[in-house]
Amino acid sequence: MLTRSLRLPRALFQYRSNPIATHALSPQLIKARTMHIQHIKMRWGTGDNYAYILTDTATKDSWIIDPAEPQEVIPVVQDLVDAGKIKLTAIVNTHHHYDHAGGNKGLLQEFPKLPVIAGRDSPLVSLTPQHGQVLQLGAHIKVTALHTPCHTQDSISYFCEDTSTQPAQRAVFTGDTLFIAGCGRFFEGTASEMTKALVDTLGGLPDDTLIYPGHEYTKSNVRFVKTVMDPAKYDAVKMLDDYTNSHEITTGVFSMGQEKTYNPFMLVREPAIQQLVKAESAHEAMASLREKKNKMIVMIPEVLPHNHMVPKEVEKTIPAPAKRRINISPLSTL
């Protein structure tokens, strides 16, 4: 059977409650030993973006990651600062697109003198870490910058390890490179670059690393995955489909090990996936999958094509009928 080469231990794709991921079920700041992660919804219903607050509780030092919409982010951050729960020490971007880095100026107006850690093309960047460079957040969180060019050439994922725990708890912020069950469009790169970014760089992380993407696209991604990997044959796909049918939030819930059981973009080196898309190499399989995803046209109300490029105040000026009648792929950055 085609699926045999992808069979992995059931433990990898069974959903298990994880203390670092329980914030997905609550809007509150959830404790997970030393490393705390809180998501903030932005542009919900149009771009479904996430910003994240990453905190080392021992020192309360915190980063705000991809704070694209200051009016949605600043009240949350300010409340935590005022309550003495966090000390904001940096703004971090995964890449330069507006819906990730567009809030840098607004955040700096409210919290001046913060460094901006990001790729070279982000606005007001003050530090661009090298690939593999290790940064320290507070006393216990080690952050490794991973260059993952393709969606944009300045895309950086941030792999975080809580060194106060044994084994260390791990998380990775992937921006628009890796989504749950999907990947970003190749706006500035090639299938070869995305293969390296997904399979080698991110796929090489420990299997227990929890994934925090830049958008909540999982339900839409699963619709595409089911056209490639039949849920009747792939238990992991059925599991994810069932989960998204009953849960709106999937960020921080699933691990890198699980991702390798249902995300075809991460499985392009598998002969079974190559055969399914009639490809002879990993790069061909990646290109074929991306082309198929791009052609999966749907009608989604109130979503602009490439809305990651459009500031919200500009988006508001476009008549609703013009938004509703645009053919786009499942979501614009997908």
100 is catalytic: yes
Q: Could you confirm whether 147 is annotated as catalytic?
A: no
Instruction: From the candidates 23, 140, 151, 283, give the one annotated as an active-site residue.
Output: 151
The yes-or-no answer on residue 36 being catalytic is: no
Q: Which of 23, 36, 39, 97 is catalytic?
A: 97
Which candidate in 140, 176, 241, 308 is catalytic? 176
Annotated catalytic residue: which of 36, 39, 95, 283? Answer: 95
Please pick, among 36, 96, 140, 215, the residue that the annotation labels catalytic: 215
Pairing of strands 178-179, 182-183: antiparallel
39 annotated active-site: no
**Angle at alpha carbon of residue 105, lines to 102 and 110, rounded to 5°:** 125
Q: What are phi and psi of 266, to 5 degrees?
A: -95, -5
From the candidates 56, 99, 154, 162, give the one annotated as an active-site residue. Answer: 99
Q: In what order do the strands lie in the sheet with 35-42?
A: 35-42, 49-56, 61-65, 87-92, 116-117
> Please, is 50 exposed, middle or buried when counting C-beta atoms within 10 Å of its C-beta (0-12, 13-18, 19+)?
buried
Q: Is residue 97 annotated as part of the catalytic site, yes or no?
A: yes
- CA of 304: how far to CAs of 66, 79, 214, 319, 327, in Å? 20, 32, 17, 11, 9
Beta strand pairing status for 116-117 and 134-137?
unpaired
Q: Is 241 a catalytic residue?
A: no
Q: Which residues pair with 218 in a beta bridge?
A: none
Cα separation, 62 vs 188, whole angstroms: 31
Burial class (CB within 10 angstroms; exposed 0-12, middle 13-18, buried 19+) of 66:
buried
Q: Is 247 a catalytic residue?
A: no
Which positions are annotated as active-site residues?
Answer: 95, 97, 99-100, 151, 176, 215
